[in-house]
């Protein structure tokens, strides 16, 4: 359980690379991540109903928020096996790549995030997590406060300078 909480709450974006099957707790861990990449032949299922279990690792929490209550209920109660394209079509995964590219695509996505404005990503993730349970007023206040904090970062200054100079920004995480 703590692994799912850690992936969800940590102030860094997380990426799951699904090669092969993601079922049960493995699927729940992938759902706890911010982004999910699946190989073309990936098979994804909740599986719990087929083995007489109710679910664990926060899968019901993450799936309900990701796909909505009706779709989460369908996937948990019926335990269909989805292929990667079906998972992409319903928003369960972020992208599908060739099977031999799963690790490389996951690594590249993680690298691109690590080279981005990491302090800002942390604030974005906290705002997104707050949006899962807070009201509009609290979300607006959090966004405003975090926006101001991000405006004071070296990464924001670098992004503004890069925009003016028509070049890619070089973020430092500060």
CATH code: domain of residue 92: 3.90.226.10
Question: Based on the domain organization, do 103 and 154 belong to the same domain?
Answer: no
Helix (H, G, I), strand (E, B) or coil at 58: coil
Q: How confident is the model at residue 139 (pLDDT cuts 50, 70, 90)?
A: very high
Q: Which positions ≥6 away from 67 have C-beta within 8 Å? A: 75, 90, 91, 92
Based on the structure, what is the number of domains in the chain?
A: 2
Q: To the nearest whole percent, how much of the chain has pLDDT over 70?
A: 100
Question: Based on the domain organization, do 44 and 89 belong to the same domain?
Answer: yes
Q: What is the CATH number of the domain that holds 130?
A: 1.10.12
Read off φ and ψ for residue 82, nearest 5 degrees: -95, 140
Q: To the nearest whole percent, how much of the chain has pLDDT over 90?
A: 97
Question: Based on the domain organization, do 23 and 76 belong to the same domain?
Answer: yes
40-51 pLDDT per residue, tens = 999 999 999 899
Residue 130: domain span:
117-164
Measured at the alpha carbon of residue 26, what is the angle toward residues 24 and 30, in degrees to the nearest 5?
115
Measured from the Cβ of residue 93, the count of other Cβ atoms closer than 10 Å reads 25
Per-residue pLDDT at 108: 97
């Amino acid at each position: 359980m703590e692994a799912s909480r850690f992936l969800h709450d940590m102030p860094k974006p997380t990426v799951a690379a699904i090669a092969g099957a993601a079922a049960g707790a493995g699927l729940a861990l992938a759902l706890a991540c911010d982004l999910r990449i699946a190989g073309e032949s990936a098979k994804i299922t909740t599986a719990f109903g087929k083995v007489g279990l109710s679910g664990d690792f926060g899968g019901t929490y993450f799936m309900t928020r990701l796909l909505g209550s009706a779709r989460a209920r369908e996937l948990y109660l019926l335990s269909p096996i989805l292929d990667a394209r079906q998972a992409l079509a319903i928003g369960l995964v972020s992208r599908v790549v060739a099977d031999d590219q799963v690790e490389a695509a996951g690594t590249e996505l993680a690298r691109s995030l690590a080279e981005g404005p990491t302090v800002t990503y942390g604030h974005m993730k906290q705002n997104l997590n707050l949006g899962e349970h807070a009201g509009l007023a609290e979300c607006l206040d959090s966004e405003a406060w975090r926006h101001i904090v991000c405006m004071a970062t070296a990464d924001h200054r670098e992004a503004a300078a890069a925009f003016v100079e028509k070049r890619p920004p070089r973020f430092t995480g500060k």
